[in-house]
Amino acid sequence: MATAEQFFMVMQALQNMEGLRDDVRRNAQAYQADVVAGRLTISQAQAVAREDAVQYLRRLKWMADIFADLNRRTRLIAGMTAVGITVTEMKAAHDEIKSVATPLATVTWADAAAITTTVNQILAAVPAHDRVF
C-alpha cells in the first residue's frame, strides 16, 4: 500500500509525462500549421521549436532528479508499484519524449518540407495516448 505522499508523487510524475506528451504533439502540429497559415516564418517556427525543446528537457530533468535521489526514487517506485506502473514504463515514456526533444533543441529548418518531416517524426516517436477527457 502506498502512502499518500507516494501516491501523490506518482500522480505528479504521470501528469508531467502525459502533459509533456500532449505538449510535444500539439506544439509540433502547431509549428507546421502556423507556417502554412503564414502566422510564423520558418525561422520564427524554428525559434519557437527550439525554446519548446528547452522546456521539454527541463521537465524531463525533473524525473531524472527524482531518480538520482535515493530517498525520492524509493518513494516514487513504492507508489508506482502500488498502482501497477513499472519503472520500465515510466522510463519508456521519458525516453520517447527525450528522443525528440534533444534534436529539436538545435533543429534547423530550411523550408516547410523540413518542418513536415520533423513533425511526422515527432508524431511517430511520441504516440498519442487514450484520454478520458
Matching residue, cell 500522480:
11
Boundaries of every domain in the chain? 4-125
**8 Å CB contact between 17 and 25:** no
* Greatest distance between any 2 Cα atoms in the chain: 54
The pLDDT tens digits for 46-92 are 999 999 999 999 999 999 999 999 999 999 999 999 999 999 999 99
Supply the DSSP symbol for 85: -
This model's pTM is above 0.85: yes
pLDDT at 122 over 80: yes
